[in-house]
Each structure stands twice: as structure tokens, then as C-alpha cells.
Structure 1
Amino acid sequence: MAKIGVRVEATEENTQQRDFTNLPNGDYQLEISASEIKEKNKDTRDHAINLSVTIDVLAPEELKGRKVFNNYNLQHPNPQVQEIGQRQFACLLRSLGLNEAPEDSDELHFISFMARIGMGKDSKEKNADGTPKYAARNELKKYYYPDEGNLPEAKVDAALAAANDNRRTTASNDNKPAATAAGTTRRPWGGK
């Protein structure tokens, strides 16, 4: 038998489960609460640098505290992937009111910014049963810049909130053969 060696109390406060469903589409007030630089294949021509961030929702109030995760490919062997990642990172910096990247990613933390969150797409890779290897998840679709003014109010899209509840519904075509036409007793090839 192994001894645990620590005292842990299972009280109502520390056993509450978090909600990890996707956020509905909308405009959100956000802030980065954690970040990490991840390097792969250092000292090779396939060297990649990725900034992973944890983003907390500040508003709308009913979704405050929920989290969104995002990655920025700052350096990548594929030039197109790197260009997209650096462009997205530049958009983040501008929405934070920064003109250039700081020396340390901790300097990005706890600065409020506005962005539009929407649903991405399922991965193209499929499991053996044909389902997507990775389901669609929230993505930052648009950053709003304070230097342009007219920042939107933090709100969920009303029409999409109900549609984005991630519940499977019965398909209108459930792949059953079409019903035969009523009242046909004669065979189509003729006869009595």
C-alpha cells in the first residue's frame, strides 16, 4: 500500500467542477492569465517556437472566469504557418495597446483586450470510426484595437447562442431508404 503523505479535504468549495464546453460566438473582454514558450527541434532547421496562452473571460458577466486557449507560431519551418502566427500575434499586441513584443511573455498578462470569439472547424484527421480526431473549438476570430476607438460591448450573439449549444440533433435525412409511393399496385414493367 502506498501512503499519500498529504492532508486533503473534499469540501464543496474545492470539488466544484469547471465548465469546459465551448463559449458561444460573440465579443468578449479578455485577459491573458498564463503563457508559456514552447520550443521544438532546437538547433535544427525545423526549429519552431510557439507561444501558448491561457485567456480568461472578463465580460460578459455570465461567462466571467471561463477560459480560452490559444497558440501563436512565432517561428516555424513552414513559412506560411510562421507568417500566419506572427500576423495573429501582431494583432494581439495591437489589441493590448503594445507596439512591439515584450522581452518576456509575462508582460502580456492581465492587460484587458477585446476580441471576437467563434467556433473553428473539426480537424481534417479522422479516427478509425470516421469522427474528427479533434473536435471544433473556440478561436479568436477578430481582435479589436483601442487606437481605432469604437470598441464593441462585450456580448454573446443572441441568434447563435441557442444554435451553439453543442448538442447533437437528429439529422433530417437519417439515411433510411425513401418510402414507396402510395397506391401503386402495378409493376412498372407492365403486366396485369
Structure 2
Amino acid sequence: MARLGNAFDATAHDTTQSDYSELPSGVYKLEIEASDVVPTKAGTGTILKTTMSVLEPESHKGRKLFTTYNLENQNPQAQEIGQKQFASLCRAIGVSSVEDSEDLHFHAFTAKIGLGKAQNGYPARAEVKRYYFEDEGNVPEPAIDAVQPTPAAAPANDNRQAAARPAAAAAPAGGARKNPWSK
């Protein structure tokens, strides 16, 4: 048991639940509200992490999208992809040179959001699929797609042993099956 020090009155606080479902596919107007530069998991590169906030469509205003940009990586292909994505973000925002990630904050931009692939046992997450550039004049109005993809279910974390194979399939031709540790 641990004392809180003071009595906490839960009725004095907003208990509205946040919506943590993935953003539906569509075109969104977004802005970066927070960012951080961190080392890669292996410690051999650099990642820019951003928190984007939805500005439009109004029905999703304030929802968050978390993105990462692989700026430096030992794998040249991973680095090239990350830098290309980051350059596209910068162009969409209208920034040509960045020294501090805060230079990216609170500039509205438009992007196509869609579901990525399920990875490492985790379900698919919403991600930026395309940035729209003002200088090309092709920026669509924010809107949710009429048809939404059906997310693939993440594989279940099932640690039970596989069902026993039928005896005929388990025994090798010509005799009984021997375990490798048996003599």
C-alpha cells in the first residue's frame, strides 16, 4: 500500500476517453506540434520523431499521427528512403533548409494518410503515403476516403505448442521415429 499524500478527487477531472483508433484513409491537413531527434535502436544512426496534429477535416481535428524519419543509418537504402521522405515533408511545409526540428513546427501541410503493413505482430498503423506540394498546384481538399481498407489482423501471440501431427505423417518411412537425444 502506498499513500498518495492527499486525497485525490476523481470527480474533479475530465474522464472523457480519447479515440485511439487509427485515422481512416484520406487526405488531411496536418501540422507538426512536437519533434525529437534520437539515436536509432542500435545507436548507429539518427531518427527524427514527429507528432503531427490533424487540422482538417474537422471531424478528426486534434487527432495525432506519429511519424519517424530515418535521417542517418548504416544501411544506405534505409537512409536514402528516410531522407527522401523528410525532404518531401520539408517541401510540403515550404521549408528548404532545416537546422532545428522546431523549424518544422506549426506549418500546415497536406498529406494522404493510409494504413501501412502489419509488422512484428503489431496491427497496421496509419502512415503518410504521399505529401502534396503547394508549388505543384495539386493540393486536394481534406476529406476521408469513401472506401476504407479492411486492416489485416495481427497474428495472434499463441505460445502453445503446435497440434500433434498424425502418427503416419510423423513416422519416417521404414520405421519408428527417433528423437535426436535418444540413444
Taking structure 1 as the reference length, what is the TM-score of the superposition? 0.73
Q: What SS does the corresponding residue of 1:54 show, helix, strand or coil?
A: strand
The answer on 1:76 being equivalent to 2:64 is no
Residue pair 2:123, 2:152 contacting (<8 A) in 1 also: no
Query: Structure 1 residue 106: deviation in Å?
Result: 1.3
* Percent of aligned positions that are identical: 47
Aligned-partner residue type, residue 27 of structure 1? V
Assess, with a 3 A threshold, how the Cα gap between structure 1 residues 140 and 6 changes in structure 2: closer, same or farther: farther
Which segments of 5 or more consecutive residues in structure 2 lack a partner in the other structure? 154-183
Match of 1:53? Answer: 50
Match of 2:17? Answer: 17
Which segments of 5 or more consecutive residues in structure 1 lack a partner in the other structure? 126-132, 169-192
Aligned-partner residue type, residue 29 of structure 1? K
The answer on 1:147 being equivalent to 2:135 is yes
Match of 2:28? Answer: 28
Assess, with a 3 A threshold, how the Cα gap between structure 1 residues 41 and 59 changes in structure 2: closer, same or farther: closer
Query: Structure 1 residue 5: deviation in Å?
Result: 3.3
Match of 2:112 among 91, 113, 116: 116
Query: Structure 1 residue 97: deviation in Å?
Result: 0.3
Query: Structure 1 residue 49: deviation in Å?
Result: 0.3
The answer on 1:103 being equivalent to 2:99 is yes
Residue pair 2:118, 2:152 contacting (<8 A) in 1 also: no
Aligned-partner residue type, residue 110 of structure 1? F
Runs of 4+ with >2 A deviation: 5-14
Deviates more, 1:86-95 or 1:144-153: 144-153
Query: Structure 1 residue 167: deviation in Å?
Result: 9.6
Query: Structure 1 residue 107: deviation in Å?
Result: 1.6
Taking structure 2 as the reference length, what is the TM-score of the superposition? 0.76
Aligned-partner residue type, residue 58 of structure 1? L
The answer on 1:136 being equivalent to 2:133 is no
Distance 1:167 1:15 in 2: 31
Assess, with a 3 A threshold, how the Cα gap between structure 1 residues 19 and 145 changes in structure 2: closer, same or farther: same
Q: Residues 63-106 of structure 1: CA distance to partner in whole angstroms, max 9, x if unpaired?
A: 11111110000001111000000000000000000112x22111
